Amino acid sequence: MSYLLRHQYAELYRGNQCPPIPPYYRPGGRIRSGASRERLLQRRLFDYSRLVLTGALLLLLSCTSERPGDHARQQKETKENSIAKPAHKEVGEASWYGPGFHGRETASGEIFNQKKLTAAHPTLPLGTKAQVTNLENDKKVSVTITDRGPYADDRAIDLSRAAAKKLGMVKDGTAKVKIESRAVNKKKSLARKKTSSARSRKVQ
């Protein structure tokens, strides 16, 4: 606004007269100078950019954030996956062995101890943990496969005397059983075999 125009507005104000609406406030008038228009444009561009960035950030957060039940669902799925199905399952005749083999080295390199819960199986990896269920009385025992055998066609597993006692089959000598096992850590099994072979001692 020029000096003369400002002076006229000041005179009208001192005379208690309402000054006319400045041209840059009139609906169809000249709104702003070139510099003011540039600042207005910059501000609008800044507001628009901020709006776009805010929207993009909200969209990203909505895609990556978990819903309230997601974490609990993931924990449940992980727990269900950890309870894996048996890697091996079979039904067959079980026998037991003990006195004649007590103190001897097994196929795994460990010294056979008839008082431990171990077993011999023809195919399961050495070191495998297996659950054996006596189908005649529903008794169960968990054993570690440390040896190979039995070699009779009608036998599925050979148990130590201690394991056979848990199943209540020492007197009868044999029983129909269900064998369930999970995958074995082969590295740990191999390490245990080497350690046992190095000791190479008899059980007292």
- Spatial contact of 105 and 200, defined as CB atoms under 8 Å apart: yes
> What is the full per-residue pLDDT of the chain (204 aa) written as tens digits?
555 555 555 565 555 555 555 544 445 445 455 567 777 777 877 887 888 888 888 888 876 655 556 666 666 666 555 445 678 999 999 999 988 899 999 999 999 999 999 999 999 999 999 999 999 999 999 999 999 999 888 899 999 999 999 999 999 999 999 999 986 655 555 445 554 444 444 444
pTM reported for the whole predicted model: 0.53
Q: Is residue 133 domain-shared with residue 182, that is, in the same domain?
A: yes
pLDDT at 44: 79
Please tell me the distance from the alpha carbon of residue 144 to that of residue 98, in angstroms, as a whole number: 15
Site of tokens 């025992």 = 141
The CB-side HSE value for 17 (13 A sphere, CA atoms) comes to 9
For 151-170, b/e burial (b = at least 16 CB within 10 A) is eeeebbbbbbbbbbbbbebb
Q: Is residue 119 domain-shared with residue 190, that is, in the same domain?
A: yes
Quick check: is 79 in a domain?
Answer: no
Quick check: is 116 in a domain?
Answer: yes
Domain of 14 in residue numbering reads as 3-58
pLDDT at 83: 46
Please tell me the distance from the alpha carbon of residue 199 to that of residue 66, in angstroms, as a whole number: 54
Q: Is residue 113 domain-shared with residue 15, that is, in the same domain?
A: no
- Spatial contact of 134 and 167, defined as CB atoms under 8 Å apart: yes
pLDDT at 112: 96
State the CATH number of the domain containing residue 193: 2.40.40.10
Please tell me the distance from the alpha carbon of residue 99 to that of residue 180, in angstroms, as a whole number: 26
**Domain count for the chain:** 2
The two tokens of residue 157 are 């597993």
Quick check: is 195 in a domain?
Answer: yes
